[in-house]
Amino acid sequence: MELNEWAFIGAFFMLSWIFPAAPVIINKLIAPNRPTPIKRETYECGVETVGDTWVQFKVQYYLLALVFLVFDVEMVLLFPWAVAYNELGMFAFLAGGVFILLLLEGLVYAWRKGALEWT
């Protein structure tokens, strides 16, 4: 039964955090712990840290995430198409082709507008 397979994933989830957590905790127990203010400073190549880390980022990253999101949704919609493809006719190829080419048009637009440039 399907749910039984997922019960395995659930069990794996419950277990999987132990593998990385155990060495980290053992490390905390057996390693020396002598923090000093200098040691706990932020490491930026020996130069003292200036200003806030959590600064404003370029709009470029946001655009990239957006283009990715669009493609992600597209690919997710293509999965059922791909799975059923063997049982479908030529019309399915046309439907998928139109779907993909419409999106490619968006990519061409992003390309022309320079949203894909990384400067």
Partner 1 sequence: MTELLTDAGLSKDFATFLTHLITAGAVATVFLLVPIFTIWLERKVSARMQDRLGPNRVGPYGLLQTIADVLKLMTKEAITPANADKVVFFIAPILMVMSVVLIVAVIPYGENFAPTDLSIGVLYVIAISSLGTIAILMAGWGSNNKYALLGAFRVMAQLVSYEVPMVLALLVPVMLAGTMRMNGIIEAQDSIWFIFVVPVSALIFFVSATAEVGRQPFDLLEAESEIVAGFNIEYGGMQFAMLYLGEWLHAVLICVITAILFLGGWDGPGAKDALLTLPIIDLELPVLGIFYLAAKSFLIYFLHMWVRFTVPRLRIDHLMGFNWKFLVPVGVFNLLVVAFAWKIMPEPDSSSLGDELPRALVVLASNVLFVMLIFFVIRDYARRERAKVEALVDETVYAAASAGD
Partner 2 sequence: MEFTYETVAFFIFALTTLGSGIMVVTDENLFHASLYLLFSLFGVSGLFVLLVAPFLAAVQVLVYMGAIGILIIFAIMLTRGMMKMDQVYNSQRVAAAVVAVLLFIALAVTLTPIVDELEFGEDLNAELAEDPVADVTYETVNELGKVITDRNGFVLPFEVASLLLTAAMIGAIVVAREDEA
49-88 positions binding partner 2, by CB under 8 A: 52, 54-57, 59, 61-63, 65-70, 72-74, 76-77, 79-85, 87-88
Q: Is 8 in the site for partner 2 (CB under 8 A)?
A: no
How many residues interact with partner 1 (rule CB under 8 A)?
73
Binder to partner 1 among 48, 56, 59, 90 (CB under 8 A)? 90
Let me know: does 54 contact 112? Beta carbons within 8 Å: no
Instruction: Provide Rg for the chain, Cα atoms.
Output: 25
Out of partner 2, partner 1, none, which partner does residue 48 contact, by CB within 5 to 8 A per kind?
none
Nearest C-alpha neighbor of 103 from the set 65, 71, 62: 71
Q: Which helix (H) or strand (E) holds 93?
A: helix 90-112
